[in-house]
Structure 1
Amino acid sequence: MKYIFIIFISLSIFSQAQFTLEPKEGFSPEIGILVSMMEDLKNRITINVQHLNQEETDFLLDDKANRIGALIMHLAATEKYYQVKSFENRNFNKEERKIWQSALDLGKPAQKEFQNKPISYYLDIWNEVRAESSRLLATKNDAWLKEMMGTTTMNNYWAWFHVMEHQANHMGQIAMIASRLPKRK
């Protein structure tokens, strides 16, 4: 019941805002709209997890599930991957794989690695990644969005749409896990 209330509070906060998409200032028009959508999703996820205590952040629904902290780290890792792929036309190097690979893959390694840290730890990492995404996206124009990423079959627009789409998919997964959290003591 408390999570339905939190979702209601989140919606009531947004009900005071205009539901329009406008280019974010400092970006070309299409990139600015994309950044606005990514920020909206990130803000909604943040609002719904920032209150979690350690037990809730580390909660594991079952042995095949992921912890909410790991899912936030996964969102940061996915965004970081597309930064490297779209701005540098490469995959993660060896050092970056050490940092990000288990978050990208999730599963058993992530279940072990991503626990015993407060939700703020994961949100801070995602904030850093997002700040870098915003900085880099501000250097590009709308024509760049349509450029193909190296020898891949995707353009930059699709890659950054996928970052946003990924956030939306995991927002639902995080909400489902949150709805199953044990009652606070």
Structure 2
Amino acid sequence: MKKIFYSVTVLLFLGNAQAQSVIKPPKGYSENIGNMVTMLDDLKGRVTRSVANLDQEGTDFLLDEKANRIGAMIMHLAATEVYYQKYTFEGRGFTADENEKWGAALNLGDEGRGRLKDQPISYYLEIWDEVRAETKALLKEKDDKWFSKKASGAMSNHWAWYHVMEHQANHMGQIRLIMGRIPN
């Protein structure tokens, strides 16, 4: 019985797989950084595919008064990535101007609910695309030796970018949960 279950599970997985099945660095990146880029892009692609067709009601849907809108969460993913660009490549946090631009998205909550709405999902996805392009350009200039070095604080650059990746995975689950609650 176990063997049949395993075979069916593998067939179902393979039949529904949309992502690549191998993690390998894209051309022009060091091995570890390139592997991270592949994983970051895979997660971003899965988030993007799941939200790309949302209408305005779905983009701005609030599950409850403490929840965040899906558009705001996409902006949050972009803001988090920008923050880690500053942290790992420049050894700093946000300036006052950067905090004005990204703070509501980074922190979400009441300010995010008030400010991050009334834009189509494409607006948020385009911003995230721009941020990701900058991340990839910056990472392409670095090597695995840099990746293993400490960022400006206690964590290594590799750990910082791992955190960006796992942050995306956490919010992907949250976004999908909220999408399942949007009224038809």
> In structure 1, what is the equivalent of residue 156 of structure 2?
155
How far has the Cα of 1:18 moved from its partner? Answer: 3.9
Partners of 1:12 and 1:119 lie apart in 2 by 30
How far has the Cα of 1:25 moved from its partner? Answer: 1.3
Partners of 1:64 and 1:32 lie apart in 2 by 37
Larger radius of gyration: 2
Deviations 1:31-67 (A, max 9, x none): 0000000000000000000000001100000001000
Partners of 1:49 and 1:16 lie apart in 2 by 15
Q: Kindly provide the amino acid, as one letter, of the partner of residue 170 in structure 2.
A: N
Partners of 2:19 and 2:174 lie apart in 1 by 25
> In structure 1, what is the equivalent of residue 5 of structure 2?
none
Q: Kindly provide the amino acid, as one letter, of the partner of residue 133 in structure 1.
A: T
Partners of 1:119 and 1:40 lie apart in 2 by 19
Deviations 1:60-86 (A, max 9, x none): 000010000000000000000000010
Shift of the 14–155 alpha-carbon distance from structure 1 to 2, 3 Å rule, reads farther
Shift of the 138–47 alpha-carbon distance from structure 1 to 2, 3 Å rule, reads same
Partners of 2:79 and 2:100 lie apart in 1 by 11
Q: Kindly provide the amino acid, as one letter, of the partner of residue 42 in structure 2.
A: D
> In structure 1, what is the equivalent of residue 132 of structure 2?
130
TM-score by length of 1: 0.90
Runs (5+) with no aligned partner, structure 2: 1-12
Partners of 2:65 and 2:88 lie apart in 1 by 34
Shift of the 42–138 alpha-carbon distance from structure 1 to 2, 3 Å rule, reads same
Q: How many residues align?
A: 172
Root mean square deviation of aligned Cα: 1.4
Partners of 1:13 and 1:89 lie apart in 2 by 44
Corresponding position: 1:74 with 2:111 = no
Partners of 1:53 and 1:16 lie apart in 2 by 23
Partners of 2:146 and 2:178 lie apart in 1 by 37
Q: Kindly provide the amino acid, as one letter, of the partner of residue 174 in structure 1.
A: I
> In structure 2, what is the equivalent of residue 54 of structure 1?
56
Partners of 1:17 and 1:78 lie apart in 2 by 24
Partners of 1:87 and 1:16 lie apart in 2 by 32
Corresponding position: 1:25 with 2:27 = yes
Residues 19, 42 of structure 2: 8 Å contact kept: no
Alignment match of 2:118 (pick from 95, 116, 119): 116
Q: Kindly provide the amino acid, as one letter, of the partner of residue 19 in structure 1.
A: S
Q: Kindly provide the amino acid, as one letter, of the partner of residue 21 in structure 2.
A: F
Runs (5+) with no aligned partner, structure 1: 1-10
Shift of the 14–156 alpha-carbon distance from structure 1 to 2, 3 Å rule, reads farther
> In structure 2, what is the equivalent of residue 181 of structure 1?
182
> In structure 2, what is the equivalent of residue 36 of structure 1?
38
